Amino acid sequence: MLKEGEAVLSDITNETVIDAWDQNAEKSLSAFEEEGDFARRYLLNPAIFDILGHVGNKRILDAGCGNGYLSRLLARRGARVTGVEPASAFHKYASERETNEQLGIEYVCSDLCRFNGAGNFDAVVANMVLMDIPDFETALLQCANALREGGLFVFSIAHPCFEEGGQRFMHDGYIQVREYFAEYVIDQPVAPMFHRPMSAYVNRMLSLNFSLVRMIEPQLSPKTVEEYPNYRRDAHIPCYILFGFQKRAFC
């Protein structure tokens, strides 16, 4: 596995990352419950649904759906969901769940950079996906193309200001911020992650004729911190950031 600083982003292809997720699928699948892991249950899911609003009967693309947990949550709220996932092990798991549960979700096994949504969707959600994609600019373009005019694109990423793990915070209450403006590889147990400044994502979306309408840095509630004290960092320093962009009409 690559160590931080050993490679520039262009040295790693989408296929390399997809293979890594496939090879380590069991580890990731075992960490998820019905509504995801801790961060998704208490931080990401509430923020995503806050930005999306009412989803009943809306056509929603779950871009990089993984095991399909968010697709299932959306479908149970009445959305018409398509989940796109490039790693075959995750696609297989999600498809088997759909066969058993019959929620009306369509799962497609495809690299997000090659998916053609043809303006069919009212909303697109990319939940903790884009920082795992080497060619994130093409992924954003394909998500943009999948939306109708006026459609909403919601995505979450690891907060690029505060990516360092929680051990130092637990010890002295601080997080070290380093090399924020650089773009580099971060070694992870399952697959590499790619650090980019927030402006890389925001400016790409603005160039695709989108308006920024919401931004959330989710914060853990005092009640949840009391119940799970090992996660108290999330009440003080954001681990994640979410954006809501609306697709403008071309003049």
Query: What CATH number is associated with residue 84?
Result: 3.40.50.150
Give the tens place of pLDDT for each residue, 47-67: 999 999 999 999 999 999 999
Indicate left, alpha or beta for 20 from its phi (over 0: left) and psi (-120 to 50: alpha): alpha
The pLDDT confidence band at residue 101, using thresholds 50, 70 and 90, is very high
Give the tens place of pLDDT for each residue, 145-160: 999 999 999 999 999 9
* 1 within domain boundaries: no
pLDDT, residue 3, reads 40
Region 20-32: what's the mean pLDDT?
A: 92
* 101 within domain boundaries: yes
Number of domains in the chain: 1
* 98 within domain boundaries: yes
CA dist 196 and 184 (Å) reads 7
* 238 within domain boundaries: yes
A 10 A CB-CB count for 38 gives 16
pLDDT, residue 147, reads 98
The pLDDT confidence band at residue 178, using thresholds 50, 70 and 90, is confident
Q: Which residue has the higher pLDDT, 27 or 44?
A: 44
Region 238-242: what's the mean pLDDT?
A: 96
CB 54 within 8 A of CB 62: no
Q: Which amino acid is at 154?
A: V
* 4 within domain boundaries: no
The interaxial angle of helices 88-101 and 69-76, nearest 10 deg, is: 30
* 119 within domain boundaries: yes
The torsion of the CA quartet 140, 143, 149, 154, rounded to 10 degrees, works out to: -80
CB 147 within 8 A of CB 121: yes
User: To the nearest whole number, what is the mean pLDDT of the chain?
Assistant: 92
- Report strand pairing: 240-247 vs 147-158: antiparallel
Q: How far is CA 23 from the centre of its chain?
A: 20
Q: Which residue has the higher pLDDT, 216 or 237?
A: 216
Give the tens place of pLDDT for each residue, 60-92: 999 999 999 999 999 999 999 999 999 999 999
CB 142 within 8 A of CB 112: yes
CA dist 187 and 203 (Å) reads 26
The pLDDT confidence band at residue 105, using thresholds 50, 70 and 90, is very high
Domain limits for position 54: 9-247
CB 204 within 8 A of CB 183: no
- Report strand pairing: 184-186 vs 193-195: antiparallel
The pLDDT confidence band at residue 181, using thresholds 50, 70 and 90, is very high
Q: Does residue 162 register a pLDDT over 90? A: no
* 2 within domain boundaries: no
pLDDT, residue 172, reads 58
Task: Convert 177-198 to b/e letters by CB count within 10 Å (16 or more is b).
Answer: eeeeeeebbbeeebbbbbbbee
pLDDT > 70: percent of the chain: 90
pLDDT, residue 164, reads 58
Task: Convert 103-136 to b/e letters by CB count within 10 Å (16 or more is b).
Answer: bebebbeebbbebebeeebbbbbbbbbbbbbbbb
Residues whose CB is less than 8 angstroms from the CB of residue 66 and which lie 6 or more positions away in sequence, other chains included: 28, 85, 87, 90, 94
Predicted TM-score (pTM) of the model is 0.92
